[in-house]
Amino acid sequence: MLSEFVKSADWKSEKHVPVIECEDTVESGSCLPIKITIGKEIPHPNTTNHHIAWIALHYVPEGAQTSVEISRTEFSSHAAGADGPDSGPALTCSYVTVCAKLAKSGTLYATAYCNIHGLWASEKIVTVA
């Protein structure tokens, strides 16, 4: 099973863990800004040879049997350039902010993929009032 390869840890001591930042409670029908950051406490290197390729955000409403994919962000620029690795004019930063309207309470799940260290995940419960 793929779940055997999904890693998680305390984001304060591990640079690969996606950190979900949003309010714990949101009014029904209100837009909830959700920020996901990789390397919040310990910066991830984000070089041509070692980078975060993507971040995905899923939501599982209480009692549901499936998840809803809220967003998927691909990071395409890793400072590669004509003169070689890490010489390019642009480098993406590994964070994204999305806004979602949740119909009921549930859990947000963030996953991120590092090209060297694989798949990482975290979760956060959100209450809809």
Active site residues: 14-16, 44, 50, 114, 117
Gap between the terminal Cα atoms of the chain: 36
Residue that has been written with the tokens 């996606």 in this structure: 18
- Residues 6 or more apart from 1 whose CB is under 8 A from it? none
Q: Which two tokens stand for residue 36?
A: 């996901």
Per the document, the length of the chain is: 129
